Amino acid sequence: MLKRVASVVLVGFLTLNGTSAGAQDQFEDRLRAVAVAGAAKANAAVFLDVQGCGISFSEAIGIADRAAALAPDTGMSLRLGSVGKLYTAAVIHRLAARGTLDLDAPASRYLRPDDAVGVSNREATLRQLLNHTGGVADYYSLPDIRRWDWRAPITPARVLTAIRGRPATGVPGTAYSYSNSGYHLVALVAERATDTSFAELVQAEVITPLDLRETQYNTVAPGGLLHGYVGRRDWWDSAENTGPDSGITATLSDTRKYLRALFVDPGPLNETGRAMVEDPVQTGNPRQQAGAGAEVRTTREGLRFVGHTGDVEGYLSFAYAAPDNDLTMISHISASDKDAFADILRTTAQIVATACGAAE
C-alpha cells in the first residue's frame, strides 16, 4: 500500500521578475498543457482547478474509466485521501472553540477505559495528534499492511486495534512523525466527548454549515464513476477512502469552497482555519511545516500555501490555498503515478507563482 502522504515538495518555482502583462493570457493554456501531459503520462484522469491571481481555470482531462472509455468531467466526486484531514481537524477545532474539547488535554482524558488499550502515547494531546508530534504508530507502517482487506471500511476501532502494542515513534511533543493513526484517535475522542458518531459531527460542523452538497464523508465503495489505477489494476472497489484520515469525497467546486471558507474568506470557518496553522512545527523540510490540521508550505519567492496532499491507492490529490494572494489550487489524478503527480504539483505551483507575481 502507498503511504497516505505525498512526498512532494513545492520547489523549482519560476522567477517572478520580468513577467510581461501579455503572459497573463497564457496561464490557462499552460495549466491545460500540464493536465494534458499528466493524463497522458498516467493514462488516467487529471482534474485541475486554479482560481486567483488573474487565473480562473477548472478542467478535467483524460480518461475516468479505461474499460468503458469514459471521459472525466469536473462534477465527478473525487477521493481526496489525506486532504480529508482538513475536515477532521476542523471538527476538532470547532469543538474546542466551544469548550467541548481542550486541544492541550491528553486524548486519554476523553477515552473510556477500554478504548485504545495498548496503544502507545494515548496520553498525547489532541494538538500533538493533529500536528503529528504525538508519537503514535502509523498503521501504514505495519508489516502486514499489504494483507489488509481494503474493501472493508477503515475505522478507529480497526486501526487502534491494529497498532496495539506497537512502539511509539517518540515522546509526545518532541518530534514530527506523520501518523494517520493519530487522526483516528482524535476522531474517537470527539465521539466520546459528544456521544455522537464522527460522520454526524462532520455533517454538522462542516458540510451543513457550508452547504457542501457535493461533499460526503465515508462514502462506501465503489462510490462514484471515477476509477483509480495502480499500474493496470483498477482500485475502484477499494474502501481505503474511509475513516477520519481520508474519508472525504468531494467535487472540485466543493473542495474549492471549503478551502476558501477555511483559509481565505472571512467567517467562522476562517477562524478555524487560522487555528489549524497557528504555531506550526518543523517537519524536517525547511519549506514545510505542520500545523494542527494543515500543512504550511512556503516557496522560494515567499508565496505561502496552506492545505494538504492526499494519497490512497489509485488516487492522488492536492488542495492548497494561498491566503495572502486570494488563491486556491486543487488537483486530482486517478492513478498512483507519483511522478505524474509531482510534475502537476510542481508545474502548477510555478505557474501560480508567476501569475501572482504578475498580478502584484
Percentage of residues of the chain with pLDDT beyond 90: 88
Instruction: Determine the average pLDDT of the residues in 78-89.
Output: 98
Residues of the chain above pLDDT 70, percent? 92
Looking at residue 37, what DSSP letter applies? Answer: H
Please tell me the distance from the alpha carbon of residue 220 to that of residue 227, in angstroms, as a whole number.
Answer: 14
Please report whether residue 35 resides in a domain: yes
Domains identified in the chain, total number: 1
Q: What is the pLDDT of residues 154-181, one digit of tens each?
A: 999 999 999 999 999 999 999 999 999 9
Q: What are phi and psi of 49, to 5 degrees?
A: -135, 120
- Residue 72 maps to a domain: yes
Helical segments of the chain, H only: 27-42, 85-97, 126-130, 156-162, 181-194, 198-202, 252-263, 268-277, 338-359
Report pLDDT for 281: 98
> What pLDDT is attached to residue 300?
82
Q: Is residue 2 part of a domain?
A: no
Structural domain for 183, as ranges: 21-359
Lowest-pLDDT choice from 81-85, 185-189, 220-224, 245-249? 220-224
Secondary element (H or E) of residue 126: helix 126-130
Helix (H, G, I), strand (E, B) or coil at 217: strand
Per-residue confidence at 224, pLDDT binned at 50, 70, 90?
A: confident
Q: 189: helix, coil or strand?
A: helix
Tell whether 15 is covered by a domain: no
Say if residue 222's pLDDT is above 80.
Answer: no
Least confident of 21-35, 59-73, 280-294: 21-35
Instruction: Give the pLDDT confidence score for residue 11 in this predicted structure.
Output: 43
Distances (CA, A) of 198 to 193, 223, 248, 324, 332: 11, 19, 12, 32, 25
The x, y and z cell numbers of residue 335, run together, are 492513478
* Residue pLDDT, tens place only, 2-46: 454 444 444 433 333 334 445 567 999 999 999 999 999 999 999
123-160 pLDDT per residue, tens? 999 999 999 999 999 999 999 998 999 999 999 999 99
Domain for residue 134, yes or no? Answer: yes
In a domain, 88, yes or no: yes
Given this model, what pLDDT does residue 244 score?
Answer: 98
Query: DSSP character for 304?
Result: E
The CATH code of the domain that includes 300 is: 3.40.710.10
Q: Tell me: pLDDT of 201 over 80.
A: yes
| Residue 316 vs residue 359, higher pLDDT | 316
pLDDT single digits (tens) 237-269: 999 999 999 999 999 999 999 999 999 999 989
**Cβ contacts of 59 within 8 Å, gap of 6 or more:** 31, 32, 35, 47, 48, 49, 74
**Full-model pTM:** 0.94
pLDDT for the residue numbered 223: 65
d(CA 105, CA 11): 37
Residues in the chain: 360
Residue 15 pLDDT: 34
Domain assignment of residue 158, yes or no: yes
Residue 55: inside a domain: yes
- Coil, helix or strand for 111? coil
pLDDT of residue 180: 98
List pLDDT tens digits, range 204-217.
999 999 999 999 99
State the average pLDDT for the chain: 93
